[in-house]
Structure 1
Amino acid sequence: MNYLNLWANLSDEVKNIFDKNAHILEFKRGEAIYLASEKPKGIYFLESGLVGLLIIGKDSGKEHLLRFFKAGQFFGHRSLFSDEDYHGNTIALEATRLKLVPKNIILNVLENHPILYKEIVLVIAKELRRCENQHVMILENQILARAAQAIIYLKDLHPEHNWTRQEIANFCASTVSTIIKAMAELEDLGYISQKGRTIEVTNREALLNLESR
């Protein structure tokens, strides 16, 4: 069972309720889905496209890309359940189609179908583990290893998306210039190839085994 795809794990009854009350939303690349400090509207189920969650550093004022959501995944749930304003911005990284299930419908279904709580807790637990792993990567690895791991993760997440150097840098908590240098070194080593914005992994095993420098 894929706990990152909540919709696939819902009962037919709950799916029907959500479908009847959902709003279909479409966004072009670069358009905001919601912004920090806005009130939670519900849960967004991603039907197609790619969405990035970004926050602004309090001290630096820089934009940091925290995570991505692809087709089959959902977001907006943590602010909804914690009853807090959104803590970051969500941006469509490519043409995106979403299904928004309003807050009142979500809360009503939870009251009548408590098994849904279990599904959501499992997803949140998986998300927490992923965040912990990313934090360890940033703490322990030097930039070359971080860039290598980020490329593998992002390419696996969405192989068809042309990941920009800015997106990779944000994910690594680095700068674009540093990532460009690291990727040039990875290319010299024969681990990746670059043609314009396109990045191809040519030696996956070497990237995975790359030690910190």
Structure 2
Amino acid sequence: MNEQTKTAHNCSGACSCNAHRSCISLVPIFNHLEPDQMDEIMSVTHPATYKKGELLYRPGDTSDTLYILHSGLIRIYRLAESGKEQLVRFLNPGDFTGELALFSESKHEAYAEAVKETQVCRMKRSDLQHFLLKYPAISLKLLQEFSNRLEKSERQTTYVATEKVEARLALYLAELAKKDGDTITLPMSKKDLASYLGTTPETISRKMGSLEDHHLIKQLNHREIVILNLDGLLFL
């Protein structure tokens, strides 16, 4: 366990117990279970709080724990040999990380950092494997989540593989528009978006301005954007 992980502290009191129960009921791999089954799972999970900037784990740490996010925000990222950061994904309440611990004893290859004060529930590999055998429906939900992760990973690979940064950004915005409509809210800062798309924050700002000049988008503020011409974005 790394030093920052040691700073996580267990919750206590009635409010914390309610938060603990809510943590289990949030995550899709568990929220379909009966209340008594969720209580059984809750009995072997341990709530913990991480302050902004603290790491849940880092490369080289033993991967033997499933982390379920109850509140806050976690970002998963890797560092290239050059030291350049590559954002992998963000975790929101109900998401989880550390699932590779289910299948084998391994080491983490990425960083998991609390973006703000964050509460999680932690479950050890042996306990989760027990429930996978006892409640097969959890396994099916887990496979569904892995499928969703694979789809998102392939989409990110498409972004980064696109030669022109402007095209990467346009494709990303178009994907958000397909899901959220004409007015979209960036789910991350421009710094993190730059890392996600494999470029720099300065380039993101410049390309946003270019898309706006070409009347493809309109920036309402640093996060909200109106898509004026979806076909034009896709054409890029």
TM range (shorter): 0.7 to 0.9
CA contact (8 A) 2:171 2:234 kept: no
What CA distance in whole angstroms lies between the structure 2 residues aligned with 1:26 and 1:112? 29
Residue 17 to residue 51, structure 1, CA distance change in 2 (3 Å)? same
2:145 matches 1:120: no
Instruction: Specify which of 105, 108, 111 is matched with residue 86 of structure 1.
Output: 108
Aligned Cα root-mean-square deviation (Å): 2.8
* Alignment-derived partner of residue 40 in structure 1: 63
Cα contact 2:66–2:98 (8 A) shared by 1: yes
Q: Which residue in 1 is equivalent to 2:47?
A: 24
Instruction: Give the Cα separation in 1 of the matches to 2:234 and 2:110.
Output: 33
Q: How far is the alpha carbon of 1:162 from its aligned partner?
A: 7.2
Which residues in structure 2 correspond to 1:57-206 (within 5 Å)?
57-58=80-81, 60-140=82-162, 142-151=164-173, 163-190=188-215, 191-193=217-219, 195=221, 198-203=222-227, 206=229
| Residues 116 and 163 of structure 1, relative CA distance in 2, 3 Å threshold | closer
In the other structure, the counterpart of 2:23 is none
> Residue by residue, what CA displacement relative to the aligned partner does 1:89-123 show, whole Å, maximum 9, x if unpaired?
00112222111122221122223333322221221
Change (3 A) 1:43 1:194: same
Shift of 1:187: 3.5
- Listed one character per residue, the Cα deviations across residues 159-190 of structure 1 (whole Å, up to 9, x for unaligned) are 88873222011110112222121122233345
Q: What is residue 5 of structure 2 aligned with on the other side?
A: none
Q: Are 2:189 and 2:223, in contact at CA under 8 Å, matched by a contact in 1?
A: no
Which of residues 69, 75, 78 in structure 2 aligns to 1:52?
Answer: 75
Looking at structure 2, the residues matched to 164 and 133 of structure 1 have their Cα atoms a distance apart, in angstroms, of 19
The count of corresponding residues between Structure 1 and Structure 2 is 205
Task: State how far apart, in whole Å, the 2-side matches of 1:29 and 1:162 are.
Answer: 18
- 1:26–1:150 distance in 2 versus 1, CA, 3 Å: farther
Map of 1:9 onto structure 2: 32
- The structure with the larger Rg is 2
Moved over 4 A (4+): 151-157, 159-162
Rounded to whole Å, the distance in 2 between the matches of 1:70 and 1:31 is 16
Task: Rate the CA distance shift 1:181–1:212 in 2: closer, same or farther, 3 A.
Answer: farther
**Is the contact made by 2:72 and 2:118 (CA closer than 8 Å) also made in structure 1?**
yes
Higher relative contact order (CA 8 A, sep 6+): 1
- Structure 1 residues 85 and 65: alpha-carbon distance in aligned structure 2, compared to 1, 3 A threshold: same
Relative to structure 2, which stretch is displaced further, 69-78 or 114-123? 114-123
Identity %: 22
Tell me the SS of whatever aligns to 1:21: coil
Q: Residue 69 of structure 2 contacts residue 120 of structure 2 at CA under 8 Å; is this kept in 1?
A: yes
Contact 1:23–1:101 (Cα < 8 Å) also in 2: yes
Which residues of structure 2 form unaligned runs of 5+? Answer: 1-26
- For residues 129 and 161 of structure 1, the distance between their equivalents in structure 2, rounded to whole angstroms, comes to 19
Conserved 8 A contact 1:26-1:96: yes
SS in 2 for 1:101: strand
Once residues 162 and 95 of structure 1 are traced to their aligned partners in structure 2, the CA distance between those partners, rounded to angstroms, is 18
Letter in 2 for 1:32: L
Asked if structure 2 preserves the Cα contact closer than 8 Å seen for 1:148 and 1:208, the reply is no
Q: Give the 3 Å change call, closer, same or farther, for CA 207–70 of structure 1 in structure 2.
A: farther
TM-score norm. by structure 2 comes to 0.74
